[in-house]
Chain A
């Protein structure tokens, strides 16, 4: 959702809106509805944000006081010029943050969106600027197929062995910790790059049966947490939360 027609300097310009997280959400929603429908009504806002109409009305009153919207009781809502600027700022923040989670951190689209919603109101203009530059830099480098972006991609896919699904294979990245268990695992062939496959989970979901080199081994889930792996089929990482 990169808006290429806008000047880069403006893209990169972030300022504080002096609004609470809630209010920013209202502004974002109003802008969104305005671009989608001809008119914006209280009912639509309440539906989108899943809150009651009276609370929307109360919030709109506050926004009007700040001179961000035109709003008369039972009428339509419109953004003022400064209101449009604020809404634009908020949605730019959201969209680049979403790109950050999606493209740099390699998260699923849905969760990238959720995460963006979660942090967009809490970042300072300075942090936004720097993060924005990182996203842009990654974008251009990724486009020109630099090695590091590929590496970063791989690193982002890494996770504990305990989160693989049955039948999934992965390459070992490292064994964490400094326990006798780690030494034993290294002795048993758990080395970087070695392929490991989750054969199955025990009937009570713990321990795990694994296949490595030419043998089968079982490990408890809590022990498998200390083994960092990179799944060999991408994007099929078992996710702890979120919908699949």
Chain B
């Protein structure tokens, strides 16, 4: 028998458990993409039922099918343009009236639907008994009781889906939501004019379009404009609207929504019986603590502290494992592959690059476990509720808080965590200012410089950098807000869903989902860029310089030996012998630094650093600092290792014996780093381009245009702030 394929769209309010139904239907057979042109997630999954293959598309959670949000337009266009065989309308049984509002619009648009009356166990606990047969007959669609989290009712749901798709359902029929005689007359008047152009009726339900036109829906008007004869229709719609608004002394949205809710109230009256709740509502009791005036903040900070520590402290163990694994892999390859450029490429470029990608995985997995827990329990909404007052003064949303805090650990998972924000503008703003939250990779740079130049005050200096980051984040939020999102503050209509116990399955799916997305969508790009930058940092090689300097170093060493010999022959004291030794060792070391700097300078990155000297020298940075800033684009901790190479110093990994520790080397007067320069440098590291991975994640999450905007903005900001700071410091005599 031939397999048939049917397409099913899942539609429902936010918090109705739509995702649990989707997971119960499709399991892990999901793929995630974006809807074309927008960054709203599109999830697709598959399942089989007998000889039918069912393609399930999870549509964004919406309250209505009007067209003022991206999510609504997506859902609507999907229903109209993609013509799915069946719409599964997921409805929260415990919150029937509001959920049915969307149902009335689905009926109006003429979609063939099956209703999943979800979380009916919760409704039963509230004391609600719902006559599904009766409700189904009233609404003209089969109604199935489900509990998504426990996969209850899923088999029946699939059964009904197939029946409706094949037209064998007894309940499914097309009904009209009655709007009352006056409104109906006007709908008919508009419809009649539309019928003059038959192509309209072939494409859209004329009744639906007529209602939308009465409501002055901009998207519907746009759709109609594509047809000839639209002028007359629009004129009639305008006349009808004015007539109705006059008659009922109200605006059209209210008139129509009143009629819809009237119909719903009737349907609910006939099919729902309410008795005493079986269980007391625990949500209110929990909320007495969670959003308590005095306990709310301490509890929130406790949660965040725990989340932060789990993510970044617990995450450090697997990260170390990954790092040492990568290191050992490198060693193994070293033994197998003959020396040469290929070997360098494999070990430092590829293996190093892969390491740089997967090193974020533990963080991402743990963070999203925590976030999924917070979202599924309903705590996320409470956290936003508590924090909104603070965040709103900064032009942000209450939910921006968590991604910003996570940014102190690592900006990569933090930016991915902005997905909790439904509103695009809030989300982009939160992403854009996230890099100012000083991530843990910047800490080694601070530790090195603050330790070397500020000794006892190192702690205060580092703290001041974190604070500068926070202040500039808020300043930047204002600037971005003024430039890009002027005058459009987004409303804070946020549901506070009842507390629920999360299921392991949904948490695991969530983690898996984020991790696999990270690997597939971002990992590749990060890897490619890492290899390119590694290459730029190594090539072209400069054998002449190496040869020349090796010869000179050998010469100095030889000279040193003979000087020592001579001194010994003279019978000099051990102090003066030491003096001679030190003199020549210092000379050789100096040559080593020159060699490393020259070699690095000759590479593409080095040339970029040199090219940028006119830009970096007004900030008081020397050449080595300039070059390490360029290499620091890959990751901030690379700044320190580059300095180690350039200064030929020990950066604490015990690589070469005999080298001096870097914090002593950079203090040498010949390099010209004063405490003022050091602080300026740390400021620059705080503010300039976040690491490569962050830029890629920004591009993926917000769009490349925004990644670019942020890149330019941060470079300009870093330079300006550092320039002002350095010069002010100089004038003040530091």
Contact = CB atoms under 8 A, between A and B. Distances in A.
Interface residues of B, number: 42
A203 B296 contact: yes
A207 B385 contact: yes
Contacts of A218: 381, 385, 388, 492-496
B491 A187 contact: no
A160 to B, nearest CB: 16
A169 B248 CA distance: 27
A203 B101 CA distance: 33
Contact of A203 (B287, B294, B496): B294
B63 interface: yes
Contacts of B44: none
Interface in A184-211: 184-189, 191-192, 199-200, 202-207, 209
B95 A191 contact: no
A179 interface: yes
A187 B64 contact: yes
Nearest to A182: B253
A213 interface: yes
Nearest to B96: A214
Interface in B74-111: 94-98, 101
A196 B686 CA distance: 48
Nearest to A189: B98
Contacts of B69: 180
A224 to B, nearest CB: 10
A204 B254 CA distance: 33
Given A203-B386, A207-B389, A191 B261 contact: yes
Contacts of B493: 181, 184-185, 188, 217-219, 223
A214 B277 CA distance: 13
B63 A188 contact: yes
A187 B69 CA distance: 13
A183 interface: yes
B490 to A, nearest CB: 9
Q: Which of A180, A187, A217 has the most CB of B within 10 A?
A: A187
Contacts of A189: 97-98, 101, 261
B68 interface: yes
Given A203-B293, A203-B297, A218-B496, A213 B95 contact: yes
A239 interface: no
A210 to B, nearest CB: 9
Given A187-B63, A189-B101, A220 B257 contact: no
B390 interface: yes
A215 interface: yes
Interface string B479-496: 000000000000111111
Nearest to A216: B496
Contacts of A206: 388-389, 392
Contacts of B66: 183, 187
A152 B496 CA distance: 36
A209 B498 CA distance: 13
B389 A217 contact: no
**Most A CB within 10 A of own CB, among B94, B257, B296:** B257
A199 B286 CA distance: 13
Interface string B99-133: 00100000000000000000000000010000000
B64 A215 contact: no
Contacts of B494: 217-218
Contacts of A200: 287, 291
A216 B495 contact: yes
Interface string B344-359: 0000000000000000
A205 B97 contact: no
Contacts of B398: 207
Interface string B20-64: 000000000000000000000000000000000000000000011
Nearest to A184: B493
A213 B257 contact: no
B68 A215 contact: no
Given A202-B291, A202-B389, A207 B492 contact: yes
B216 to A, nearest CB: 11
Contact of B389 (A204, A216, A219): A204
Interface centre among B63, B69, B126, B297 (most CB of A within 10 A): B63
A174 B257 CA distance: 13
Contacts of B389: 202, 204-207
19 contacts: A184-B63, A185-B493, A186-B254, A186-B257, A187-B64, A188-B493, A203-B292, A203-B293, A204-B389, A204-B390, A206-B392, A207-B385, A213-B97, A213-B98, A214-B95, A218-B385, A218-B492, A220-B492, A223-B492
Given A180-B491, A186-B257, 16 more contacts: A181-B493, A183-B66, A183-B68, A188-B98, A188-B493, A189-B98, A192-B258, A209-B496, A213-B95, A214-B94, A215-B497, A216-B498, A218-B381, A220-B392, A223-B491, A223-B492
Closest A-B pairs by Cβ, 4 of them: A187-B64, A204-B389, A216-B496, A181-B491
